[in-house]
Amino acid sequence: MSEPFSVPVAVRGYETDTQGHLNQSVYLNYAEHARWSLLRAAGIRQADLVARGVGPVALETTIRFRRELLAGDEVTVSCAFEWGEGKTFRIRQVIRKADGTVAAEVEGVGGLMDLRERRLVANPRERFKELAAEPGLFGA
């Protein structure tokens, strides 16, 4: 199996809290950045989604904090989709320091919403494959 898609991120000083480590809410921003980066790498722009009348939605998110991150730390944020049979899918992400230490694990449940009907579409895996120039990035 190949390595999951990942993007580099540098922890910026303004993202830290009074203890000097990365503010807990910023981990979600990093995870979101990696997800949108995967979509772009697959050839899907936000405008493409809107034009097709669909948009990704987060239904559940869990963060497990393993090690602190400090200003200046260089990390990679991975992103791997796991598909089931229904209208939802899982996204597993790892925020890893340059030395390989896992700083956080982010797991989520998502869906692809029909923007007119305001309901999840059936078989989001197939919809992403239809939209993508590089569907392999979705594990599809």
CA distance 20 to 73: 12
**38: burial class by Cβ within 10 Å (0-12, 13-18, 19+)?**
buried
pLDDT of residue 91: 97
pLDDT given for residue 140 in this prediction: 60
pLDDT at 2: 64
**What's the confidence (pLDDT) of residue 3?**
79
Predicted confidence (pLDDT) per residue in 56-88, tens digit? 999 999 999 999 999 999 999 999 999 988 999
What pTM was computed for the model?
A: 0.94
Interval 4-54: pLDDT, tens: 999 999 999 999 999 999 999 999 999 999 999 999 999 999 999 999 999
Number of H helices, E strands in the chain: 3, 6
Q: Note the Cα 87 to chain centre separation in Å.
A: 18
pLDDT at 1: 47
